[in-house]
Structure 1
Amino acid sequence: MQSKNHYLLVDFLKTFAAFAIVLHHFLNYGQLAEDARNFLPIMLTWLFEYGRFAVQIFLVLGGYLAAKSITRAKDLKNPHILFRTIFNRYIRLFAPYVVALIITIICAWLARFWVQDEFVGESETLGQFLAHLFFLQGILGLDSISAGIWYVGIDWQLYAILAILLGMFPVFRSAIWILAVFCVLSLLYFNRHSEYENYFIYFMGPYGLGVLAQLCKNYPDRLINRLASTLIIVIGAAIVISSFQQIWFRNLLAYVVAITLIFWGDWAYLDRWREKKNSQMHKLVNAILWSSRRSYCVFLMHFCFILLANTIYISWGMSQHHDGAMAIVLIFISIMASWQAANYLYRWVELPSRRIKF
């Protein structure tokens, strides 16, 4: 088990959030999801309602890891280096993303023969596909080809804004103050208005908390550590005060994740877990690391299996009997298949594409 540049808590949170989002989507789309929720109404309805909050975990982790990589970049004030940093992030996201889009389009075409449901959508257009390639589908008001694919574009927007902020100010502390202002505005205003959800400012709150969590502990300058720590406390106070008017659980969750990363985010994998290869602990941490590495790919691929699972459920006549038990079994098999497909996408596309840099 190779754990270079990987940390136990970070990998666990990525794995947990990926499973939660995938399950939430499987319980959200089509007759399959409806029959499964009717069979186990309390548990599955709860997962259906609150599973989407796992996006906050991804956002905080995204900021945490982005700050770690961007602050290591040299001379971001050079426009050429800044552009290269942003463009390389786009390249890294792009290769598995476009392969997953093409596979999803094929699965949707197949599903339309049997599934007459809104989530399948109309046949994709060339303009719609091109908009997806540049992460513009939400901004242009076009239907998304795949569930959750909006997050890829938002992640790139947030990464680009963070790089620009850290590169445009001659004093690093000024950039952190501006970041904190964006973070508070996002948490207390922008992410409470859906008209901004296609833009970075809607998600800057949890992402900024992740950035500050990284800076307050792992940045080599103690003054920056203290400033980031102070701003984390101030933002936490703002979240608590605003909760007296209305409680926003996603803001509270994002803050808890950020604080957790401050204390335990740099927990490394222990060598003794690798020495006892037959131990339960070794198998557990190995599974966490394996899943964490493939979390982005499963995020891209799982909607294909939602389409295929609903197609099988309807075309084989199971939907006519509203067989909830069979629906749950089919969801479980499809989730496992999603992870296996993600494994191949990771090995055959994502890993080789990392060699491509501008």
Structure 2
Amino acid sequence: MKQLTTTSTDERIRLHFLDGIRGLAALYVVFCHILPHQGENLPLWISLPTKLLRYGSFSVAIFIVLSGYCLMLPVTRSQTGYIPGNLFNYFKKRARRIIPPFYAAIIFCCVLALIILTLERFTTFQWREVQYDWFSPYFSFLDVILHFLIIHNLLPGSDVYIMNIPLWSVALEWQIYFLFPLVFLPVLRRWGLLSVIAIAFLIGLTPHYLFNNYMDPSRPWFVGSFTIGMAAAEIAFSQQPQLIKLNKSLPWGKLAAIFASVAIITEWKKLGVDAWIFETFASIAAACLIIYCTKIVIERKTPPLIMRLFEHPIAIALSTFSYSLYLTHGPVETLINHWLVTLNMSPVMFAVTLYLLSVGISLIFAYLFYLAFERPFMSGFLKKRKVKDAIS
């Protein structure tokens, strides 16, 4: 993800915090997907901190907002309303960035499933489904085809996600890549930001309200979150007088905290609020936070604690292979959980071991996966980014 943009004085800056946010959000998803398996009857020192791991969908909202922000930056900088270059190069870059690792993850799941099914056929081994498994070997040939076509999220129900559940958001983002230049930018040039956001939410919420929650498992309303990210880029860098005034007049850091609090409150299931509402609040909070951090960078102010966290070398290093981590952690965590269940450990020992092994092995496997299937297809700029450089 290229972090270069320009100020009004054409001074080049680097928005390192964007990478840190992405890396930490990916790690948070890993922890969130361990939570359902940690067990019960745990002491407070385990159960209390892990209550913070219930907002996994907020991380997806952050990913989508970041995507909208980063793709909109060159458009905003050009001040033409068009993507620099041509559409062919745009789609080529997007495809090289997202598809090869995605296909490699699908093949990895197929190989894993073949091994498990072979063991079931020729040995006494039996795969026992566990609630909240993020991977299952019992997917069909149709599931594989739909994943390769990157349309598996368009079908009703959740069975189509059993291959590797986290992959649903990759399909959604891929589809948004088409909406961005073909729908959102023309609407932006003709009618402005508010119209773009309104049309995006109309697209995203139509299946929910008109087709009986048809695509709810794949959260199509995140299409609206993408345009919220676009709006953040416009507010942060546009030279339009009304957007400059908006940028300077609002307390973006405080707004980020307020919208994040509202998202957390409305997520409380006893309130019965639709998921798109609290996930949209989370998206707005992420956009406000990004604008706030961008202003700090541009104005060369002393970064606050949260921004220093985003710019920490470990957070930057995580971002280097965060996409691979997101693609592969589901099967890794599922295998570790299935193995640990057979060891008859105490609840505390099981939970501690589960977190340590799941996070550690997920990170190691994801980094190796990144080296093999993600980094070779990156642009020259991204290839230069290495984990060891970030840490050092």
The corresponding residue for 1:306 is 333
Deviation at 1:175, TM superposition (A): 5.2
Deviation at 1:84, TM superposition (A): 4.1
Kept in 1: contact 2:208–2:214 (CA 8 A): no
Aligned equivalent of 1:67, options 72, 92, 102: 72
Kept in 1: contact 2:3–2:18 (CA 8 A): no
Matched, 1:9 2:21: no
For the residues of structure 1 that align with 2:137 and 2:315, how far apart are their CA atoms?
37
Write out aligned runs for 1:1-358 (5 A). Answer: 7-28=15-36, 33-35=37-39, 37-40=40-43, 42-43=47-48, 46-71=51-76, 81-110=86-115, 113-117=125-129, 119=133, 120-141=135-156, 143-144=160-161, 145-168=163-186, 172-174=189-191, 176-183=193-200, 185=202, 194-197=213-216, 201-222=220-241, 248-265=277-294, 285-314=312-341, 317-318=342-343, 320-321=344-345, 323-354=347-378
For the residues of structure 2 that align with 1:347 and 1:268, how far apart are their CA atoms?
31
The corresponding residue for 1:277 is none
Kept in 2: contact 1:136–1:153 (CA 8 A): yes
Q: How many residues align?
A: 331
Q: What code does the residue aligned with 2:283 have?
A: A
Q: 1:321 to 1:245 in 2, by over 3 A?
A: closer
Give % identity.
20
Q: What code does the residue aligned with 1:121 have?
A: S
For the residues of structure 2 that align with 1:245 and 1:311, how far apart are their CA atoms?
33
Q: 1:225 to 1:63 in 2, by over 3 A?
A: farther
SS of 2:26's partner is helix
**Residue-by-residue CA offset, 1:128-170 (whole Å, 9 max, x unaligned):** 212111211121345221121111011112222111135545x
Deviation at 1:322, TM superposition (A): 5.1
- Greater RCO structure (CA 8 Å; 6+ sep): 1
Moved more, 12-21 or 295-304: 12-21
Q: 1:299 to 1:199 in 2, by over 3 A?
A: closer
For the residues of structure 1 that align with 2:240 and 2:198, how far apart are their CA atoms?
21
Q: What code does the residue aligned with 2:290 have?
A: L
Q: 1:190 to 1:210 in 2, by over 3 A?
A: farther
The corresponding residue for 2:304 is none
Deviation at 1:222, TM superposition (A): 4.1
Q: What code does the residue aligned with 1:127 have?
A: L
Unaligned runs of 5+ in 1: 270-280
Moved more, 294-303 or 19-28: 19-28
**Residue-by-residue CA offset, 1:86-133 (whole Å, 9 max, x unaligned):** 343133201111112222333344556443115343533333212111
Kept in 2: contact 1:67–1:211 (CA 8 A): yes
For the residues of structure 1 that align with 2:247 and 2:204, how far apart are their CA atoms?
17
Q: What code does the residue aligned with 2:129 have?
A: D
TM-score, normalising length: structure 2:
0.69
TM-score, normalising length: structure 1:
0.75
Moved more, 218-227 or 147-156: 218-227
For the residues of structure 2 that align with 1:334 and 1:223, how far apart are their CA atoms?
48
Deviation at 1:336, TM superposition (A): 1.6
Q: 1:15 to 1:198 in 2, by over 3 A?
A: same
**CA RMSD, 1 decimal:** 4.3
